[in-house]
Amino acid sequence: MISSDNIPIQASLAWASQFKTDVNQTAQEFQQLRQELLQNLQSIQSRTTTFGSQRSSSTVMLDDSTDEEERFQQVSDDIIQEHAIARQPALTVFGANSSGKTSFIQRFLGIGNILPSGIGPVTARIVELTYAPGNQACFRVYKTIEKLLIEHEGNLSSFFSNNQQPDWESITNILSPHVKRPTDINEKTKEFNEWAKCFVEVCLPSDILSLGIDIYDTPGFLSDNREQILTDNLHELVKRIKPTLLFLYDNATISDTDKSCFLAMKNALGSMERVSVFFLNTKADCTSIANDYLLDDDPENVPLDLFENTLHEKKQRCYELLLRRREMASEVLGRLPDSVDESTCFDICTIPSDYDPWEVYTNMINTAAFRRIVQFAVEVYSTPTFTLARDILMTVDDFFDYPISTTPRSAHQWDSLRKEALEWGQMFFDEYKTLSPTLTDDMTRNMLKILEERKPEIIRQAALITRTNDPIDTLLEDHSKTIRNYIRLAVQEQVIKVAANNTIIAKRDEVKAFIKNHLQRQRGVRKNELLTIAQRQVLSEISVEVLEHTTLFNSLLDNIVKLPLRLRRFFLSLPTRISAYGKEMYNRFNHAAIKNDADLVYKLLDAMDDYATLSNEANRKTFADYCMEKIAKEIEEQKNNFSLNVISWIEEQRKAFAKNIASNQKHIEKHLSDQQTLHNLINQFSGRFSKIEC
């Protein structure tokens, strides 16, 4: 029996599952129809010399090197098969040690305290929690996350014989050896790595799990001593499962530990595409809310509407604290909205003690949070399905371009249409060329502005010999905690990504308006099939959606983020060991002396920084300031190169646009005598492709 609180969650998950099923079915129908179409085209090709009997397939509407199969393979069979894999929405829960992960999972799922918890690192294996009815409850320990080889398994069904009161304690005792970090194995050994690599699956009854969602519990992130195998496990999990990441943190102000944990997660995922993250503040208990907002300490004296208004104010305040942590808020492409009501990836929850006088309000807080989390997970889960549906529709559009090319026209008429299409493209790209370089101008301006704002704090932290609880420092390997490396990473996370996101959200609306305006200018102009096809096939590469996700903005962002810090490796030309006399001399240099002999001293300071022998505080600050100035200068110098890259990219799109028009017109004229045959064949498939489009 599904409780009323879970009905909206059930509806969201059911919709996502049905949507994926429907799209998968349509994709299968599309795949079969495409294969049938290609076979018919090849059959015609084999009977006519017009299509080029020396080749394996004909060339239609594209240049002579492109065949029919390639034309209709925008959605490959592999993509369709990958999407058809039965995979449920999933949440991967992560956070710093003692952030409340275990308590949250157990309350969210309505299960007993079956997972180990405590202060410090308690677990070392990833645990999947998935649904099974009580009479099929079990657990399995796999050698790896691929689930190919079972190392151990056990039956848990006997502990659910009493549906009203499962024997959670016995389940805890059975699972403990498989999920709790072993105390008799050295964490630095290969034996520990082999143990931690194992993947635990627990199948048990839960109202939430029964709705069709899986939960993954991950070992706590404590960046200073987190074993590499745990980082590798998380990376492999996200790559395979493609879940929504649920980041838990207990302090609304977001402590340095929480910040370090979040950056460590990003570092673990490495070059993987942006992964969707939901931020959950876990310790917003009702008693504290009442005290902070001067409510009566007796919940019976607090009206529901008053508490709801207070709760909304509390959420907004916590959300604003998240926004202040730029490194985290900037993970959302185009940055997070200002209002918590507009944000889909943040909420607060509370995990009370056994006795909770505010239970009614506690349940209200958590129910709202659980719904929002699941809704976000559903959106993330459904995104690939929307993408597949869109790509299928684009391929169907390509099919309908096909009969367009068979419209009866003379060679003179097609040549006239070609000239009109080229004129439109020339005008469009000339104007687009003047618009796009401002992207890099704005981005550079934003970077330099934020760099100047963050400069004092970055220099101060970089100059410290010991950086306690510093989130940037925790991402550096022990052998690379130099001033130079610290500054490079800090600028990447706290300056460049923030500036890039600010630019993206401002620029995409401008690009969108520009493209829309040009397309509207065509109204009232005679139908031009060559122009229509070129716009669909080429301009889709600079559509706002593509710009946001894969093409221009993100490629530029990647190039900027990976911008090398061009500090010369002066030490390569110096002795591999710096004499004690030299170290002492340069560590005693005062600020004025360095300024007077800058070039020589900076060379040696760079070498000393690399060898961790630069210990004078004043000189460390001076060298840090020097590094920041070098970065600012480098960003400024690279601006022209970035602009040239954008212009070059636009020119490539212009050439592709013109080539598309020319090759299509050439092909049409070459096969004018065969247009009726093709037209008749394609018309036989039009109704079935229309059905897929609908």
* Per-residue pLDDT tens over the stretch 237-281: 888 888 889 999 888 888 877 877 787 777 777 655 567 889 999
pLDDT of residue 303: 92
pLDDT of residue 301: 92
pLDDT of residue 215: 94
Of 512, 518, 510, residue with least CA distance to 535: 518
Helix axes 529-538, 411-435, angle to 10 degrees: 40
pLDDT of residue 566: 33
Question: Residue 63 carries which DSSP code?
Answer: -
Supply the DSSP string of 521-583, one letter for each residue: TTTTSPP-HHHHHHHHHHGGGG-HHHHHHTSHHHHHHHHHHT-------GGGGS-SS--HHHH
Averaged pLDDT for residues 79-100: 81
For 226-231, which contacts have Cβ atoms below 8 Å and span 24 or more sequence positions?
Answer: 226/264, 227/124, 227/187, 227/192, 227/193, 227/196, 229/192, 229/193, 229/196, 229/197, 230/124, 230/196, 231/264, 231/267, 231/268
pLDDT of residue 214: 93
Decide: 77 and 200 in contact? Cβ < 8 Å: no
Residues linked to residue 462 through DSSP beta bridges, in sequence order: none
Task: Burial-class residue 347 by CB neighbours within 10 Å (0-12, 13-18, 19+).
Answer: buried
Q: What are the C-alpha distances in Å from 421 to residues 402, 656, 659, 667, 671?
A: 18, 13, 11, 16, 20
Supply the DSSP string of 207-268, one letter for each residue: TTGGGT-EEEE---B-TTT--HHHHHHHHHHHHHH--EEEEEES-TT--HHHHHHHHHHHHH
- 40-54, 319-333, 442-456, 606-620: which is most confident: 442-456
* Per-residue pLDDT tens over the stretch 145-182: 888 899 999 999 999 987 778 999 999 999 999 988 88
Q: Which residues contact 204 (CB under 8 A, 6 or more apart)?
A: 111, 129, 131, 132, 134, 137, 156, 160, 171
Task: List phi, psi (to 5°) of 449.
Answer: -65, -50
Q: Which of 405, 439, 467 is the last residue of a domain?
A: 405
Same domain? For 395 and 533 the reply is: no
Is 218 among the domain residues?
Answer: no
Same domain? For 562 and 443 the reply is: yes
Is 379 among the domain residues?
Answer: no
Q: Which of 358, 376, 405 is the last residue of a domain?
A: 405
* Per-residue pLDDT tens over the stretch 546-582: 444 434 444 444 444 444 333 233 223 333 333 333 3
Same domain? For 521 and 658 the reply is: yes
* Per-residue pLDDT tens over the stretch 181-230: 888 887 778 888 888 889 999 999 998 898 889 999 988 765 444 567 77
Strands 244-249 and 277-281: parallel
Is 176 among the domain residues?
Answer: no
Of residues 316 and 434, the one with the higher pLDDT is: 316
Is 234 among the domain residues?
Answer: no
Tokens (6 digits) for 512: 């969108």
Of 147, 149, 151, 167, residue with least CA distance to 159: 167
Q: Which residues contact 521 (CB under 8 A, 6 or more apart)?
A: none
Is 283 among the domain residues?
Answer: no
User: Percent of the chain having pLDDT more than 70?
Assistant: 70
Is 214 among the domain residues?
Answer: no
pLDDT of residue 159: 93
Same domain? For 628 and 664 the reply is: yes
Residues linked to residue 215 through DSSP beta bridges, in sequence order: 91, 129
Lowest mean pLDDT segment, chosen from 294-298, 316-320, 442-446? 442-446
Task: Burial-class residue 501 by CB neighbours within 10 Å (0-12, 13-18, 19+).
Answer: buried
Is 79 among the domain residues?
Answer: yes
Same domain? For 23 and 45 the reply is: yes
Q: What are the C-alpha distances in Å from 134 to residues 129, 131, 371?
A: 14, 9, 25
Same domain? For 509 and 393 the reply is: no
Is 150 among the domain residues?
Answer: no
Domain span at residue 77 reads: 4-84+387-405
Same domain? For 400 and 438 the reply is: no
Same domain? For 434 and 493 the reply is: yes
Decide: 109 and 208 in contact? Cβ < 8 Å: yes
- Find the largest Cα–Cα distance for the chain: 90
CA distance 215 to 245: 10
Q: Which of 405, 440, 462 is the last residue of a domain?
A: 405
Same domain? For 424 and 401 the reply is: no
Strands across the sheet containing 277-281: 150-155, 138-142, 199-204, 126-131, 214-217, 90-95, 244-249, 277-281, 346-348
Q: Which residues contact 435 (CB under 8 A, 6 or more apart)?
A: 510, 511, 514
pLDDT of residue 425: 84
What residue has token string 């102000």? 253
pLDDT of residue 520: 59
Same domain? For 446 and 394 the reply is: no
Supply the DSSP string of 366-403, one letter for each residue: HHHHHHHHHHHHHHHHHHHHHHHHHHHHHHHHHHHHHH
pLDDT band at 8 (very low <50, low <70, confident <90, very high): confident
pLDDT of residue 636: 80
Lowest mean pLDDT segment, chosen from 18-32, 106-120, 377-391? 106-120
pLDDT band at 94 (very low <50, low <70, confident <90, very high): confident
C-alpha distance across the termini of the chain, in Å: 36
Of 198, 158, 157, residue with least CA distance to 178: 198
Write the single-letter amino acid at 224: D
Same domain? For 428 and 392 the reply is: no
Strands 277-281 and 346-348: parallel
Give CA angle at 341 (335, 345), nearest 5°.
Answer: 50
Domain count, the chain: 2
Decide: 279 and 344 in contact? Cβ < 8 Å: no
CA distance 148 to 125: 17
* Per-residue pLDDT tens over the stretch 121-152: 667 788 999 999 999 999 999 998 888 899 99
Instruction: Find how far residue 142's CA is from the centre of its chain.
Output: 28
CA distance 440 to 644: 10
pLDDT of residue 478: 60
Of residues 488 and 560, the one with the higher pLDDT is: 488
Reading phi first (left if > 0) and then psi (alpha if -120 to 50, else beta), residue 119 is in beta
Same domain? For 419 and 539 the reply is: yes
464-486 burial code (b ≥16 CB/10 A, e <16): beebeebbbbbbbeeeebbbbbb
CA distance 10 to 210: 9
Question: Residue 408 carries which DSSP code?
Answer: -
